[in-house]
């Protein structure tokens, strides 16, 4: 215990940064655990797409989307979803909606905004498009 106190007194900024990161991890864990938005693996996403006609929302920029995206996905920006500009996606409120970003880290906020907009079943794709392509699952190019 004395070693910890000495370390804290010798390195206050590093200790403060560690405490801040610990609080952030705890906060994010609780936020995701109690969220109405679920997280799906690639296998579950494929099942939802094939069996329940799930809608895919790709949050990446237009250039990344053109380089490769999941077939029939809708390219939207998080800011558009936050502002309520969901366009043709509004017709799919009863279908499962899978929100994907590059790595699966930034899509939760957009997914929660879709849930608030009245979408019944909203999910986040675990590991995002990079996880999808990492397992050599098909991506469509262009558009």
Give the model confidence (pLDDT) of 55-88 as tens digits.
999 999 999 999 999 999 999 999 999 998 888 8
The beta-strand segments (E) located in the chain are 38-40, 55-58, 74-75, 96-100, 121-125
Q: Which of 69, 77, 71 is nearest to 107 (CA)?
A: 77
In the prediction, which pLDDT does 2 show? 81
In the prediction, which pLDDT does 29 show? 82
Helix, strand, coil distribution of the chain in percent, nearest 5: 55, 15, 30
Residue 98: what are its φ and ψ, rounded to 5°?
Answer: -110, 120
Burial class (CB in 10 A: 0-12, 13-18, 19+), 33: exposed
Query: How far is the CA of 87 from the CAs of 11, 51, 56, 80, 81, in angstroms?
Result: 52, 24, 14, 10, 9
Q: What is the DSSP string of 28-67?
A: HHHHHHT-S-EEE-HHHHHHHHHHH--EEEE-S-HHHHHH
Which residues share a beta bridge with 56? 98
Banded model confidence at residue 143, pLDDT cuts 50, 70, 90: low
Per the rule left: phi > 0, alpha: psi between -120 and 50, beta: everything else, 142 is left
Rounded to whole angstroms, the Cα distance separating 76 from 136 reads 24
Share of the chain above pLDDT 70, in %: 99
Catalytic residues: 101
Residue 121 reports pLDDT greater than 70: yes
In the prediction, which pLDDT does 98 show? 97
């Amino acid at each position: 215990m004395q070693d910890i106190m000495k370390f804290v007194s010798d390195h206050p900024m590093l200790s403060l940064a560690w405490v801040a990161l610990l609080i952030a991890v705890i906060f994010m864990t609780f936020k995701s655990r109690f969220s109405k938005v679920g997280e799906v693996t690639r296998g579950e996403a494929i099942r939802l797409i094939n069996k329940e006609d799930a809608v895919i929302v790709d949050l990446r920029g237009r250039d990344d989307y053109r380089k490769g995206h999941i077939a029939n996905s809708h390219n939207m920006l998080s800011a558009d979803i936050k502002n309520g500009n969901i366009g043709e996606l509004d017709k799919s409120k009863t279908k499962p909606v899978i929100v994907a970003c590059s790595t699966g880290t930034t899509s939760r906020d957009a997914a929660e905004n879709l849930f608030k907009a009245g979408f019944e079943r909203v999910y986040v794709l675990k590991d995002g498009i990079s996880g999808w392509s990492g397992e050599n699952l098909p991506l469509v190019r262009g558009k």
